[in-house]
Every structure is written in structure tokens, then in C-alpha cells.
Amino acid sequence: MPAPRKYPLELRERAVRMYRTAEPKPVIRRMAEELGVHHEALRNWIRQAEADVGERDDLLTTAEREELAALRKENAQLKRANEVLRTASAFFAAQLCATRRDVDREVVKDHFRRAVVAA
């Protein structure tokens, strides 16, 4: 479950729309004060909106971020599954080795008995 947002999505969208439609571009710090938000929050919203519409190449788009989060989650699940399989494999290999040792002991005892009887 994601962390609760400090500012509503409506406010974010409206603030970005106001900035992008304004001519000349307002000073972000002043605009943030007027809206009652932190200036760095507004700057990040604007940068993310620019990335989403393809104006910036240095940031991931929102869709790419969501995909990355989903892939990381899937990767973590696969790593856990691999660890379970690795542990199970080691357990069953140990069981198999113990069974083989018991069978080998019986074979050796049987050979020894036959050798004693034959002598």
C-alpha cells in the first residue's frame, strides 16, 4: 500500500496545468507560495509532467515508474521462490543420500555375510 500523499492529486494537476499554460513562466517558488505548497514539491511535479509528455529524457515517465515497481516486486517474488526451491532441493538431496547410505550398508553387510558363509 503506497504512502498517503501530502497534497491531493487535483491540486497537483491544477498547479502543473497553471504553470504550463502561463506565459511568461512564473517563478516556481512564488507560485508555490501562492498555492500553499512547498516549492520543491511543485518543481518535482512539473518535472514529472514534462517527463510524462516526452519533454524530458532524464526522468522516467509515470508509466515506466509503475512498470519498474511491478518488475521489482515480481523479481523479489521470484528470488523468494528460488530460495524455497533451493532449500527443498538440498533437503531432498540429503534424504536421498541418507537412503543411499542405508542401502549401501545393507549391500556391504550382505557381501560380508556371504563371504563368511562361503569361508
Kindly report, residue by residue over 8-32, the tens digit of the pLDDT: 999 999 999 999 999 998 999 999 9
pTM for this entry: 0.63
pLDDT score at 94:
78
DSSP secondary structure letters along the chain = -PPPPSS-HHHHHHHHHHHHH-SSPPPHHHHHHHHTS-HHHHHHHHHHHHHHTTS-SSS--HHHHHHHHHHHHHHHHHHHHHHHHHHHHHHHHHHHHHHHHHHHHHHHHHHHHHHHHH-
